[in-house]
Amino acid sequence: MYVCLCQGVTDGQIRDAILEGCCSYRDVRQTLGVASQCGKCACLAKEVVRNTLSELQISKPSLAYPAEFSVA
């Protein structure tokens, strides 16, 4: 599903960015340009980041991801 229409970013691309090393919403935003135009996608993008990081923490607790979601 498309999360950011302005940049053409999907939820899959956000998940892939996290799997490739992004550890926060800020990292995802800098990498993919999410919410850099109109900003309407920010809440959904943050939710996708939060859910993905949570899933990773549950499935692989030894990963060096932050203990809590960082909105920054």
Is 0.85 surpassed by the pTM of this model? no
Model confidence at 63: pLDDT above 60: no
Residue 64 in any domain: the answer is no
CA dihedral over 12, 17, 19, 23, signed as positive or negative: negative
Residue 54 in any domain: the answer is yes
For the chain, the first-to-last Cα distance in angstroms comes to 24
- Residue 58's pLDDT is what? 83
How many structural domains does the chain have? 1
pLDDT digits (tens, 9 = 90+) for 38-53: 999 999 999 999 999 9
CATH at residue 20: 1.10.10.1100
CA dihedral over 38, 26, 68, 11, signed as positive or negative: positive
